[in-house]
Amino acid sequence: MKRTFAAAVALTAAMLSASSAFAASNASPPPEKGRPEPMGIRVGGPCTYADHPGTATILAVSPATPDKDVPTPPYPGLTVTYAFAPVGPLPPQASRLAGKVQTMTLVNGWPPGPRFLEKYGIRPGAALPCVLRVIQSGTCTPLLFEFPGIDLADYFEIEK
């Protein structure tokens, strides 16, 4: 019994020592025989995307309903809905988005305001250039809509 306990303590100490040495060295463990080399852990970028151009048709503009989970902007927010129509075929993971109603928000999640819509020519029926970006590598947002010529980080409406 004493020998088993001593062996368990020695094994645990050896494992902790090896684990500490590995963590301190920041090296990748050697691959197991017959397995491919492990990839490094990546959180966030850098990410690469495949771009799929198309058109976003603005379906409706209406007063935004305040959301308890999103801070309210200091201007009257507007809900802007649109449908994306790609120029060409979409990959399987993005094909469900063609024609589906989407909501335009600013980068921080706020709804745009009336002056933003006026500045960028956003109104019901407008057909805007739009790009659906589909992630190819990395761990960023998998699907993004971008509007060339519209800066969704333009917060000029918060200035007096």
Structural domain count of the chain: 1
Which residue did the predictor score with more confidence, 157 or 69?
157
Q: What is the mean pLDDT of the chain?
A: 80
Residue 145 lies in a domain: yes
Residue ranges making up the domain that contains 88: 48-158
Cα 122 to Cα 152: distance, rounded to the nearest angstrom: 12
Residue 30 lies in a domain: no
Kindly report, residue by residue over 13-43, the tens digit of the pLDDT. 444 444 444 333 333 344 444 444 444 554 5
Close Cβ partners of 66 (under 8 Å, ≥ 6 residues apart): 72, 77
According to the 3-state scheme, what is the secondary structure of the chain?
CHHHHHHHHHHHHHHHHHHHHHHHHCCCCCCCCCCCCCCCCCCCCCCEEEEEEEEEEEEEEEECCCCCCCCCCCCCCEEEEEEEEECCCCCCCCHHHECCEEEECCCCCCCCCHHHHHHHCCCCCCEEEEEEEEEEECCCCCEEEECCCCCCCCCHHHCC
Residue 127 lies in a domain: yes
Residue 76 lies in a domain: yes
Residue 7 lies in a domain: no
Q: What is the predicted pLDDT for the residue at 135?
A: 93
Kindly report, residue by residue over 40-88, the tens digit of the pLDDT. 554 566 899 999 999 999 999 999 988 777 778 999 999 999 999 999 9
Which residue did the predictor score with more confidence, 72 or 4?
72
Averaged pLDDT, 149-160: 93
Cα 56 to Cα 59: distance, rounded to the nearest angstrom: 9
Tell me the longest C-alpha to C-alpha distance in the chain.
82
Residue 4 lies in a domain: no
| Residue with the two structure tokens 């019994």 | 1
Residue 16 lies in a domain: no
φ, ψ of residue 34 to 5 degrees: the values are 85, 0
Q: What is the predicted pLDDT for the residue at 1?
A: 52
Residue 34 lies in a domain: no
From 53, 101, 55, select the one nearest 79 (Cα to Cα): 101
